[in-house]
Amino acid sequence: MSVPALHLRPAWALLKRHHQKVRRLHLRQLFAKDGKRGERLVVEAAGIYFDYSKNRITDETMELLLQLARESGLQDRIDAMFRGDRINTSEKRAVLHVALRAPRGASILFDGQNVVPEVHAVLDKMAEFSQRVRSGAWKGHTGKRIRSVVNIGIGGSDLGPVMAYEALKHYAERSMTFRFVSNVDATDFAEAVHGLDPEETLFIVSSKTFTTLETMTNAHTARDWLLSGLKGDSAAIAKHFVAVSTNAQEVAKFGIDTANMFGFWDWVGGRYSMDSAIGLSTMLAIGPDNFAAMLEGFHEIDEHFRTAPFERNLPVLMALLAVWYNNFFGAQTVAVLPYEQYLKRFPAYLQQLTMESNGKHVTADGADVNYDTGPIYWGEPGANGQHSFYQLIHQGTRLIPCDFIAFARTANPLGRHQDMLLANVFAQTEALAFGKTEKQVKAEGTPDWLLPHRLFEGNRPSNTLLLEALTPAALGKLVALYEHSVFVQGTIWQIDSFDQWGVELGKALAQRIIPELESAADPELEHDSSTNALIRRYRKLKRSGP
């Protein structure tokens, strides 16, 4: 089905007109008019209670947004993704991260081949390796067991593993240490190995391409660190380095035995790969059974996304609401606010997932878009954020739709903490939506001069996602939810959510500048005057150092 450009879809014009009609409606009015709104605008699926009632929408808004989804050919796109079509058109690749969590025995075809058995073969290999390391059967070069694991990777080969490790720390093998190195800043490496014993350390070099500058630099530094700790015996590499990659040739070139390589496929995008072999550090930390439970959580949402009618489809609803604020209210950001300390790296993880996916200014066909695409995602764990940036969300001049993520049960039930934490979630969404009127502020005896400062306009939208507990399965569900929401948004905007050409230019320029910084003789510089001057100043400063 050929889909018309966004501004030519009937729902687009209807939504524009509708927005003019409803944009001044206040959530106070909407709730007053419908005593059941808070129970009606709720969807429960896969153990997630999704309350979207505190959004600036009417029933008509949702009907029009759903019409927009249909006119955008969303069902066809979902089917195409699950069918293994090459929907990443600029890279001519299929997008099959859903196959990474398909149960054994399922069938997902790519180029006529069922990829699920291959996926499970890698999972089995990961499980076997994890068991050996965790049990101490896998020995380091000097015969000691592995007690520390350092994942070296960047972007999708780091953010997912770090986030998942932090999120599932409660399930992790606490007698082992897990560290993560991503930055080419040597401090990252130095701090990651600080206090570690090379004899007991395993490095996982995680890189889809195995050519990424930061990762390969860190991997070489790791090899030097290991060998200098093990008296230069290069036979040690085999026991202390494994690789996760799609590029066996480069892995072998680095010196890692490809028997110690865990593969994945070019139909897995970097930012969609935490549940592939890129999750090896996660599996080492939480064990194969918990990893399998995480995959089941992912799969449950995949099935929900694939089969649920759009009006009860969590990722679809989340995406449509994001489009509503992004394209009609002109909101530039979305705040993600997990009220769960273990999810402290979740917003950072989502930044790559959302912004590398949907930060595009041309459609998949290469036409300039004349509407805004991917909003900026940001956030911090709740409660802490309240004492920092929430001021701006409550009383600033910008509209910031928020996703509140909360869990009924904590892994650390101490005293009254959990009730207090959850009270804050509910209080914040209530305060944002309903604010505090002049009448209310006056009734508290506030002097007139202070009134404007103490008013809360309200009408600040939010979603609340309430789950039972942050289990491995729940983490899988949350990630899949956002993955598919990103895809739905990209579908409406007709962009390729699976390429990332925008990261290339900086990489290429850095390659050109490195020798200019390193050369002994002053180099001929042919950049702009600012870049030339900065390079010269850096060269001078580093020469003048201690």
Q: CB of 157: closest distance to ligand F6P in angstroms?
A: 4
Q: Which is nearer to ligand F6P, 501 or 538 (CB)?
A: 501
CA distance 458 to 428: 11
Q: Catalytic residue among 200, 356, 380, 483, which?
A: 356
Q: Which is nearer to ligand F6P, 183 or 446 (CB)?
A: 183
Q: Which is nearer to ligand F6P, 160 or 435 (CB)?
A: 160
Q: CB of 278: closest distance to ligand F6P in angstroms?
A: 8
Q: Which is nearer to ligand F6P, 56 or 271 (CB)?
A: 271
Q: Which is nearer to ligand F6P, 155 or 375 (CB)?
A: 155
CA distance 338 to 410: 13
Burial class from Cβ neighbours inside 10 Å (0-12, 13-18, 19+) for residue 366 reads exposed
CA distance 464 to 151: 33
Quickly tell me which residue has 């409803």 as its tokens. 22
Q: In 145-269, which ranges are continuous DSSP H helix?
A: 159-167, 186-193, 213-229, 237-240, 248-254
Q: Which is nearer to ligand F6P, 155 or 198 (CB)?
A: 155
| The pairing of beta strand 109-110 with beta strand 113-114 | antiparallel
Token pair of 14 as six digits: 């209807």
CA distance 165 to 459: 36
Burial class from Cβ neighbours inside 10 Å (0-12, 13-18, 19+) for residue 223 reads buried
**DSSP per-residue codes, 84-149:** T---BTTTTB---GGGGGPPTT---EETTEE-HHHHHHHHHHHHHHHHHHHHT-SB-TTSPBP-EE
Name the residue among 48, 39, 30 with its Cα closest to residue 298: 48
Token pair of 315 as six digits: 């990722």
| 473 alpha-carbon distance from chain centroid | 16
Token pair of 153 as six digits: 């990777």
Q: Which is nearer to ligand F6P, 87 or 172 (CB)?
A: 87
Q: CB of 279: closest distance to ligand F6P in angstroms?
A: 13
Q: Catalytic residue among 194, 387, 453, 542, which?
A: 387
Q: Footprint of ligand F6P on this chain (CB under 6 A)?
A: 154-157, 207-209, 212, 215, 270-271, 356, 500, 503
Q: CB of 544: closest distance to ligand F6P in angstroms?
A: 33
Q: Which is nearer to ligand F6P, 243 or 432 (CB)?
A: 243
Q: Which is nearer to ligand F6P, 186 or 503 (CB)?
A: 503
Name the residue among 264, 251, 165, 248 with its Cα closest to residue 216: 251
Q: How far apart are the first and last CA of the chain?
A: 66
Q: CB of 476: closest distance to ligand F6P in angstroms?
A: 19
Q: CB of 254: closest distance to ligand F6P in angstroms?
A: 13
Q: Is 483 a catalytic residue?
A: no
Token pair of 57 as six digits: 């929408």
CA distance 535 to 319: 43
Contacts of 367 (CB under 8 A, 6+ apart): 5
Pick left, alpha or beta for residue 118 (phi over 0 → left; psi -120 to 50 → alpha; otherwise beta): alpha
- Any idea how long the chain is? 546
Q: CB of 469: closest distance to ligand F6P in angstroms?
A: 29
Q: Is 356 a catalytic residue?
A: yes
Q: What are the Cα distances from residue 133, in Å, to 47, 144, 376?
A: 33, 11, 40
When computed from its CA atoms, the radius of gyration of the chain, rounded to whole angstroms, is 25
Which residue's CB atom is positioned nearest to ligand F6P?
Answer: 270
Q: CB of 210: closest distance to ligand F6P in angstroms?
A: 7
Q: Is 169 a catalytic residue?
A: no
Quickly tell me which residue has 């996982």 as its tokens. 204
CA distance 24 to 468: 35
Q: CB of 308: closest distance to ligand F6P in angstroms?
A: 29
- Name the phi and psi angles at 178, rounded to 5: -120, 125
Q: CB of 89: closest distance to ligand F6P in angstroms?
A: 17
Q: Which is nearer to ligand F6P, 84 or 155 (CB)?
A: 155
For the annotated catalytic residues, the residue numbers are 356, 387, 507
